């Protein structure tokens, strides 16, 4: 057995989620939108919030690192892979409910943002249209307070049910989630999102659908969706745009190996087909350096690095 794999620990996880739902040495390139990344020691697919909490508790007891994976859309995993446990919270935790009269929706953390926006549309609830083209999950989007087209998750949230590192699960109201630009208390405190409650306004489904279609048309027109990427590579610097600064620094189209600054939108680094994680990481670093030299602005990656 691989030196990173402990048979006793593996058995304990299998007892929680079932043997077929625990993989070892699973290549993360299968699970990230960059389509790169080495193996995770353990890759676990729970099918309830209780199972997520139980696996987290086990990992804490055994002092094994835990990583929570949604859609893998904001993530760069290096070739060395991920030590410890990756817990996938995606289609396996995708239940939801709607109270149209109250204008409230409840989503498990694995519901895709595109699905959540569609559910809201069908219920005649407006405010989540911006999320219809974001390739992430409700849990991941809440953790990082994702946004687009002037909207962000914080605008919609009522509460989030989370689990802490001790395995205690509890509901936090919006005011305790401490939302900021692409950040929240969830990330700061290493909470795991289990479920999210939202409150939206009533609207006309046809109008909502039309707005979503327009946003997605703009996304297809302006973003390099034909290539694997992690979406916007850098956070938006205050008072400016990362893509504009990168273009000003002469980096549009710049390549390292198979990684390239998109010629369609300089805010995106894409995998042209054979990029390695090192290609992408090195290109991110070069872009940061060139932009800092040219403009004096320090770009902060929006992409998370797992090692």
Task: Report the catalytic residues.
Answer: 182, 232, 302
Provide the token pair at 39. 């193996």
CB atoms within 10 A of CB 19: 10
Candidates 206, 189, 192; CA nearest to 56 is 192
HEC profile of 250-298: CCCCCEECCEEECCCCCCCEEECCCCCHHHHHHHHHHHHHHHHHHHCCC
Distance CA 296, CA 124 (A): 46
Query: Which of 255, 251, 254, 260 lies closest to 229 in space, CA to CA?
Result: 260
| Residue 25 exposed, middle or buried by CB count within 10 Å (0-12, 13-18, 19+) | middle
DSSP letter string, 65-95: -EEEESSSTTEEE-TT-EEEEEEE-SGGG--
Q: How distant, in Å, are the alpha carbons of 55, 216, 247 from that of 134?
A: 28, 9, 23
The phi and psi torsions of 111 (rounded to 5 degrees) equal -60, 135
> What's the CA gap between 29 and 12, in Å, rounded?
26
**241 and 297 Cβ atoms separated by less than 8 Å:** no
Q: In terms of Cα–Cα distance, which of 59, 46, 50 is closest to 17?
A: 46
The pair phi, psi for residue 94, each rounded to 5°, is -130, 30
């Amino acid at each position: 057995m691989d030196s990173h794999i402990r048979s006793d620990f593996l058995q304990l996880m299998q007892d929680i989620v079932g043997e077929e739902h625990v993989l070892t040495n699973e290549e993360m390139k299968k699970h990230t939108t960059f389509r790169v990344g080495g193996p995770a020691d353990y890759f676990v697919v729970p099918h309830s919030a209780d199972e997520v909490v139980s696996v987290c508790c086990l990992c804490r007891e055994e002092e094994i690192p835990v990583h929570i994976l949604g859609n893998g859309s904001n993530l760069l995993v290096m070739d060395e892979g991920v030590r410890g446990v990756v817990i996938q919270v995606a289609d396996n935790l995708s239940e939801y409910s709607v109270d149209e009269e109250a204008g409230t929706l409840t989503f498990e953390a694995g519901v895709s943002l595109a699905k959540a926006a569609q559910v809201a549309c069908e219920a005649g609830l407006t405010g989540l249209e911006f999320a219809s083209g974001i390739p992430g999950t409700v849990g991941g989007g809440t953790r990082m307070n994702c946004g687009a087209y002037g909207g962000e998750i914080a605008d919609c949230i009522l509460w989030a049910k989370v689990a802490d590192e001790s395995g205690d699960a509890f509901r936090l109201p919006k005011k305790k989630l401490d939302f900021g630009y692409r950040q929240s208390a969830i990330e700061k405190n290493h909470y795991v999102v289990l479920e999210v409650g939202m409150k939206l306004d009533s609207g006309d489904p046809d109008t909502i659908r039309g707005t979503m279609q327009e946003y997605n048309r703009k996304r297809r027109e302006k973003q390099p969706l034909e290539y694997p990427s992690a979406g916007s590579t850098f956070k938006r610097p205050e008072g400016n745009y990362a893509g504009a600064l990168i273009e000003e620094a002469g980096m549009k189209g710049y390549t390292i190996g198979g990684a390239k600054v998109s010629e369609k939108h300089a805010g995106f680094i894409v995998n042209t087909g054979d990029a390695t994680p090192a290609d992408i990481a090195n290109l991110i670093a070069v872009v940061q350096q060139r932009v800092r030299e040219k403009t004096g602005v320090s770009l902060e990656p929006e992409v998370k690095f797992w090692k």
